């Protein structure tokens, strides 16, 4: 049977405990999971992409079916290129839902073999976002309870 490959795309700037939870749960569902850091040249990052790739790889090193890649193209094109038929995303709240609903339809239009799979966030991690972590870190606050590294 064909291997079920999924990508878990995001900015991961930075990768939080919420992202890690989705990645770990996704790794149990799919044969192979590719955590895919999207590079948007128009947006500057808080943590450089190569540094984040290294951090994510180390955080998930115990999972043999997880890989970390970077990409600089449409998510649907990248998925096709690496043979992934599934996109994994996390859902925290209705704001995420509104956003994801649109994106999933566009991705499906661009590549109709793609199926997006959502995991509902663990309630205790639902309030964590990369932007909040950046904000706290920028002003010297303690972000250790939002990250595993």
Which residues are the active-site residues? Answer: 19, 43, 92, 130
> 2 or 134: whose CB is closer to ligand ADP?
134
Does 59 contact ligand ADP by CB under 6 A? no
Return the number of other C-beta atoms located less than 10 Å from residue 26's C-beta. 24
Q: How far is CA 104 from CA 2, 14, 114, 143, in A?
A: 23, 23, 9, 31
Sign of torsion, CA 25 74 64 15? negative
Does 80 contact ligand ADP by CB under 6 A? no
Does 116 contact ligand ADP by CB under 6 A? no
Region near ligand ADP per CB under 6 A, out of 11-19, 52-60, 64-72, 135-143:
11-19
Binding site for ligand ADP (CB under 6 A): 10-12, 16, 18-19, 22, 89-90, 92, 96, 121, 125-126, 128-130
């Amino acid at each position: 049977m064909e291997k079920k490959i999924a990508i878990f795309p995001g900015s991961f700037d930075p990768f939080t405990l919420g992202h890690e939870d989705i990645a770990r749960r996704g790794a149990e569902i799919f044969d192979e999971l590719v955590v895919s850091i999207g590079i948007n040249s128009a947006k500057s990052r808080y943590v450089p992409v190569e540094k984040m790739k290294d951090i994510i790889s180390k955080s998930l090193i115990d999972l043999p079916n997880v890989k970390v890649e970077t990409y600089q193209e449409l998510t649907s094109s990248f998925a096709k290129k690496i043979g992934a038929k599934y996109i994994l995303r996390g859902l925290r709240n209705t704001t995420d839902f509104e956003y994801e609903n649109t994106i999933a339809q566009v991705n499906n239009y661009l590549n109709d073999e793609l199926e997006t799979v959502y995991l509902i966030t663990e309630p205790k991690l639902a309030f964590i976002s990369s932007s909040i972590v950046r904000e706290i870190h920028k002003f010297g606050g303690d972000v250790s309870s939002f990250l595993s590294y």
